Amino acid sequence: MDLIKFAIEKFLYPLMEARRGNQVRANLRWLQDSERRPAHELKSLREEKLRRLLLHCVEHVPAYRQYKELVPQIVADPMAALRCFPVLTKEAFRLNPESFIADDADRSALIANNSGGSSGQPVQFFMDRRTVEFYEAARWRGLGWYGITPGSRSLLIWGNPFELDKLAERRYRLTERYLKNRRIIPAYALDPAAMPQHWRLLHRYRPEYLYGYAGALTLFARLLKEQNLPCRVPLKAVVSTSETLHPWQRELLEEVFAAPVVNEYGARDGGIIAYQCPAGGMHLSAENLIAEVADILTGELLPPGERGLLLVTDLNNFSQPRLRYQLGDEVIAGEHPCSCGRVMRLLEETCGREDDIFLTTGGRFVHGVAFANCIKRLPEVEAFQIVQLAPAEAKVLPVTRGGQEPPGLDGVKADYQALLPGTRISYQLVDKIPPSASGKIRYAVRQFPLPHD
């Protein structure tokens, strides 16, 4: 029996509720109930939440006060009224974040967070406890579909959150272990020599599930496989988050861990956006947000089935609301309901960060995944990164087995040149791809804004 799980679920959560008014479990029960209600009930619930949010925005949020004349429309049809508000890009938000803070927000209770912008500069934003507790509840709902509960033991393959001094690090580890029931293998520590130690931790600790960035989980799986270290722990799920989970990564994870591989689509500035159900559908957190899909160039809204940029309106954040916020991800909205019977709409495909889209000198877009598909042909390439510094300049950093240039690289070079005609592409073999500050290992990075930014 897992005593820490028992203590978290029987004592810690009830205590947090009694002492701090924590609403995660109440929200979770509410979400678990709403996912099985008839579709029209979910629709009217969302409309009501959106109506309240929009009325609050035009009344209390300086950036949105100019839209006060929309009040009759907001009252009559909030979904239609939402489309009268402008799309909010990260760049536009960054110009004056203060103007998005509601004048009635409790400033002492604001929770600061930040995320990387498409030009690499972080965007700082604020949330409140209510928003965070809904994010957490949405994650636990998704994990609950696999029999995982808030106290379930987990092993994270994760970037170090920040530079910690010794005392802070000790405290952090104790919090992780006893209050969250999880252990962390830092993504930067995934070097081959340390794998036997990580493997022993996995089997001694016996987590119910693994959780991490797609790239880090895949690297973990690949190293286990290469070193003949089989996973004998029966896992309820391997949960991949934040980064695009490619089919080849999913296959490898399924093979190595013999468990369901679950895609969690979340963003620091968007919360839990969608969660994959056991039937394979990526269900939007429909009670928490309104999702729209817009054409990457014209900004016009697209019907389901067409690929475009995701716009998110968080229905819970009344402290610093961002309406129709362009996260920078490309998605396709699903056309059909899921076979599992849950009413939340589906995303057919999440295509990764907008940063992963490259621009040719002729003005055409090329998705980063095209580069990954070419280089996958070379088994000697263990990892790689392509960085487009400017439309006319890119560099490719492959990590190869033995540090030798693989025989087929010339063919890949030709393909890359065809994808980016007119771009000077340089190649440099490297030992490893350093994770970004957040711990993500990114394979395709564009370092300049697209024309519409």
Which residue stretch of 197-205, 279-287, 312-320, 385-393 sits at the interface with Zn ion (rule: CB under 5 A)?
279-287
φ, ψ for residue 35 (rounded to 5)? -65, -15
CB of 343 to Zn ion, least distance (A): 10
Q: Which is nearer to Zn ion, 159 or 281 (CB)?
A: 281
Please give the Cα distance from 19 to 15 (Å, whole number): 6
CB of 145 to Zn ion, least distance (A): 8
Q: Which is nearer to Zn ion, 51 or 342 (CB)?
A: 342
Q: Which is nearer to Zn ion, 336 or 376 (CB)?
A: 336
Which residue stretch of 123-131, 271-279, 307-315, 423-431 sits at the interface with Zn ion (rule: CB under 5 A)?
271-279
Binding mask 332-371 for Zn ion (x = CB under 5 A): ------x-x-x-----------------------------
CB of 275 to Zn ion, least distance (A): 9
CB of 281 to Zn ion, least distance (A): 3
Which residue stretch of 54-62, 210-218, 272-280, 303-311 sits at the interface with Zn ion (rule: CB under 5 A)?
272-280
Among 150, 212, 281, 439, binds Zn ion (CB under 5 A): 281
Q: Which is nearer to Zn ion, 39 or 279 (CB)?
A: 279
Among 39, 279, 390, 414, binds Zn ion (CB under 5 A): 279
Please give the Cα distance from 330 to 143 (Å, whole number): 24
What does the angle CA 226 – CA 184 – CA 24 come to, to the nearest 5 degrees? 130
Binding mask 287-326 for Zn ion (x = CB under 5 A): ----------------------------------------
CB of 349 to Zn ion, least distance (A): 15
CB of 314 to Zn ion, least distance (A): 22
Site size with Zn ion, rule: CB under 5 A: 6
Q: Which is nearer to Zn ion, 116 or 260 (CB)?
A: 260
Q: Which is nearer to Zn ion, 279 or 392 (CB)?
A: 279
- The radius of gyration computed from the CA coordinates of the chain, to the nearest angstrom, equals 23
- Contact flag: residue 144 with Zn ion (CB under 5 A): no
Q: In the window 76-115, what residues touch Zn ion (CB under 5 A)?
A: none
Q: Which tokens go with 195?
A: 């794998």
Which residue stretch of 24-32, 51-59, 262-270, 280-288 sits at the interface with Zn ion (rule: CB under 5 A)?
280-288
Helix/strand/coil (H/E/C) assignment for every residue in the chain: CCHHHHHHHHHHHHHHHHHHCCCHHHHHHHHHHHCCCCHHHHHHHHHHHHHHHHHHHHHHCHHHHHHHHHHHHHHHCHHHHHCCCCCECHHHHHHCHHHHCCCCCCHHHCEEEEEECCCCCEEEEEECHHHHHHHHHHHHHHHHCCCCCCCCCEEEEECCCCCCCHHHHHHHHHHHHHHCCEEEEEHHHCCHHHHHHHHHHHHHHCCCEEEEEHHHHHHHHHHHHHCCCCCCCCCCEEEEECCCCCHHHHHHHHHHHCCCEEEEEEECCCEEEEEECCCCCEEECCCCEEEEEECCCCCCECCCCCEEEEEEEECCCCCCCCCCEEEEEEEEECCCCCCCCCCCCEEEEEEEEHHHEEECCCCCEEECHHHHHHHCCCCCEEEEEEEEEECCEEEEEEEEHHHCCCCCHHHHHHHHHHHCCCCEEEECCCCCCCCCCCCCCCCEEECCCCCCC
Which residue stretch of 79-87, 98-106, 278-286, 320-328 sits at the interface with Zn ion (rule: CB under 5 A)?
278-286
Please give the Cα distance from 65 to 385 (Å, whole number): 44
Q: Which is nearer to Zn ion, 327 or 347 (CB)?
A: 347
CB of 341 to Zn ion, least distance (A): 7
CB of 174 to Zn ion, least distance (A): 37
Q: Which tokens go with 107?
A: 């400033």
Q: Which is nearer to Zn ion, 43 or 424 (CB)?
A: 43
CB of 111 to Zn ion, least distance (A): 31
Among 54, 155, 277, 445, binds Zn ion (CB under 5 A): 277
**Which residues of this chain interact with Zn ion, rule CB under 5 A?**
277, 279, 281, 338, 340, 342
